[in-house]
A and B are shown apart, each in its own frame.
Chain A
């Protein structure tokens, strides 16, 4: 019967090409708009480290106090050097690292090459095991480089390619801002989207970093942050004045593998905050917060509002297209009330009528889906016009999006067809057949 109904459906659709085209176009546009904006949304709202995102946490401490006229719960989104170092020393988590972005210039070997700008992060060695960073050669630097301010550096595949032609460069030396560093490892392509450990700077969707160096070494060399530095009071003069000011500029991450570890860490943070008041550093008890990766991304509004608003508007657009389709299908089906009457008289049960008309609708949905697919492809080419380049680059067609596009088109059309089909199946054969 499936083939029979499909054949009937296609024949019926061919009979009113204008009406059919209108339905297909409506569904195609509705689905394409929704899918294009969804692709962007999907790209920016994904979990960058799904297997571990509930074990990685960001602590926040209200080191600014209540006097700043901020709302309750609005804590600084980074730590001050004082707090970050206190947390590192306490070492309460399973693993932990303080992180800040650095921008240095790199002098390639050889006399003629121009210096290049290199972007990297100052971290502790735990960074690599916490975030499961994959190594191509070598490994992270030993803990002794963290404590001993060692001149180790981990470089990325991209930089290794540029400097060493992709060869194993472990043990080789590179020069950053006039200082030499010994390569301890080369990591494979690794650029989580969003770059959850550094969302406070930039969109979170930028290009890959070039290198990672020990945090302690960077502080030693007085390398300032390449990211945001937020202060409530002007710091005392000089590097030490800045380090011990209330300025917040350090991202801090801790790995807590069990619920018990999370509870313990939360208690530790509260205790630490209370101690800061007791010791007279603050005249308030600082609020603290511990967020895992999804909570943190949400808190930092990593998904740009444009993405949500445009997805919302597109979904509304799809709904209008569906309402439109309901009306047109209703007209199309009810025009065939006499045929339905005859079929019912000749032995078609309501269920058969449902099958016949839903299949016809599904055919419309399928063609609409194919059109939607083409238009989504066009939409993908156009996302660069609408969204930030960093974000637009991430949106792309893949098999799952193709299937989803067609599926949404068919399911949406079937939903739209429910009411018209119900009306068709409710046609009273006797009324249609009584001699006019």
Chain B
């Protein structure tokens, strides 16, 4: 589903070149639930934005669902984002000017879907996250957990094959976080591939497999004894 070979990403300023990712390799199979962990600044988020085609990369290859994406133009990349990928962000990223219904409608609009089908899908996904009664509310009128569930509903509405989550519970308290995580696992059971970036070992433990990034490279945790138990468990997961 998602395969990166020797991928690199360089940020250039007038003064310095910084490698955000270097000789980066990862292979996520269809239907997998992978957690990407690593310390702050390790390149986790850069990996996720590249994986989500939000950013281009400097070198290497990236195959998404069998397509080499480096040569695609903006239109094609937008189409893939729209049809195959769902995003969940730490900051929810709902559009404050739009109510819940209109927020979920955004990706469906870009898909050119007819009104009746849009409505059906929006109501279905709202039901799935348990917010059917909040369709006319604005984001500011919802709690953090509710906002994140709206964001998940927005990601779900397009039936994405790949769900990319960036610290989805980072801004939530424990109870809300649990609810959100259960939703994500639910989506996984329905067959979607899930890649979740987190620095929370407990969260990472819920994934089938953990990938650890340090300084822009995937590291094999079996050769990194410095890491604690949870990381070790994750490393075991990788061998499955």
Do A and B come from the same complex?
Answer: yes
A32 to B167, CA, bound (A): 54
Minimal beta-carbon separation of B97 from chain A (angstroms): 6
Which B residues, 59 to 100, have Cβ-Cβ distances below 8 Å to chain A? 74-75, 77-79, 81-83, 87, 89-91, 93-97
A349's partner among B74, B95, B167 (CB-CB below 8 A) is B74
A345 touching B90 by the CB < 8 A rule? Answer: no
Provide the B105-118 mask, 1 if CB < 8 A to any CB of A, else 0.
Answer: 01101111000000
Choose from A15, A429, A435 the contact partner of B167 (Cβ within 8 Å): A435
**Which residue of the partner chain, among A339, A345, A436, contacts B81 with CB atoms under 8 Å?**
A345
- CB closest residue in chain A, given B56: A430
- Chain A residues closer than 8 Å to B109, beta-carbon distance: 1, 4
A349 near B45: Cβ-Cβ < 8 Å: no
* A residues contacting the other copy or chain, number (CB 8 A): 26
| Alpha-carbon gap, A435 to B92, bound state (A) | 9
- Knowing A1-B109, A338-B93, the reply to whether A434 touches B49 (Cβ < 8 A) is yes
> CB within 8 A of A430: which of B55, B96, B97?
B55
The answer to the question of A347 belonging to the interface, with a C-beta cut-off of 8 Å to chain B, is yes
Residues of A within 8 A of B107 (CB): 346-347
Cβ-closest chain B residue relative to A436: B91
Which residues 326-371 of A sit at the B interface, judged by CB distance below 8 A?
Answer: 338-339, 341-352
> Which residues of A are found within 8 Å of B82, using beta-carbon distances?
346-348
The A1-33 residues at the B interface (CB cut-off 8 A) are: 1, 4, 11-12, 15
Q: Does A175 contact B (CB under 8 A)?
A: no
The B-contacting residues of A in range 421-436, CB under 8 angstroms, are: 428-430, 433-436
How far, in whole Å, are A12 and B91 apart by their CA atoms in the complex?
A: 22
Q: CA of A436 to CA of B89 in the docked complex: distance in angstroms?
A: 10
B78 contacts A347, CB within 8 Å?
A: yes
B97 contacts A349, CB within 8 Å?
no
* Interchain CB contact under 8 A, A346 and B110: yes
- Tell me the nearest residue of chain B to A345, going by C-beta: B87
Q: Which of B90, B110, B166 contacts A347 (CB 8 A)?
A: B110
Question: What count of chain B residues pass the 8 Å CB interface test?
Answer: 34
CA distance A347 to B162 in the complex (A): 14
Across-interface contacts of B81 in A (CB, < 8 A): 344-347
Q: A11-B97, A338-B93 are in contact. Are A345 and B54 (CB under 8 A)?
A: yes
Q: What residue of chain B has the Cβ atom nearest to residue A429's Cβ?
A: B54
Q: Which of A1, A12, A339, A351 contacts B75 (CB 8 A)?
A: A351
**Which residues of the other chain, B, contact A344 by a CB distance below 8 angstroms?**
54, 78, 81
Contact A347 B89 (CB under 8 A): no
Select from chain A the residue with minimum beta-carbon distance to B96.
Answer: A339
The answer for the CA separation of A363 and B126 in the assembled complex, in Å, is: 33
Alpha-carbon distance A351/B45, docked complex (angstroms): 26
Kindly list chain A residues whose C-beta atoms are within 8 Å of the C-beta of B74: 349-351
Q: Do the beta carbons of B93 and A433 come within 8 Å of each other?
A: yes
Given the known inter-chain contacts A1-B109, A430-B55, A435-B166, please indicate yes or no for A349 contacting B93, CB distance below 8 A.
no
The reply to whether A342 and B97 form a contact with Cβ atoms under 8 Å apart is no
Cβ of B145 within 8 Å of any chain A Cβ, yes or no, is no
B154's partner among A1, A346, A430, A436 (CB-CB below 8 A) is: A346
Residue B52 at the chain A interface, CB threshold 8 Å: yes
10 tightest CB-CB pairs across the interface, nearest first?
A347-B82, A349-B78, A430-B49, A435-B90, A346-B107, A430-B55, A430-B54, A347-B110, A429-B54, A347-B81
Chain A residues in contact with chain B, CB under 8 A?
A: 1, 4, 11-12, 15, 338-339, 341-352, 428-430, 433-436
Residues of B bordering A, CB below 8 Å: 45-46, 49, 52, 54-55, 74-75, 77-79, 81-83, 87, 89-91, 93-97, 106-107, 109-112, 154, 158, 166-167, 170
A and B contact pairs by CB, cutoff 8 A, 14 listed: A11-B97, A343-B106, A343-B110, A346-B87, A347-B81, A348-B82, A349-B77, A350-B74, A350-B78, A428-B54, A430-B55, A433-B91, A433-B166, A435-B167
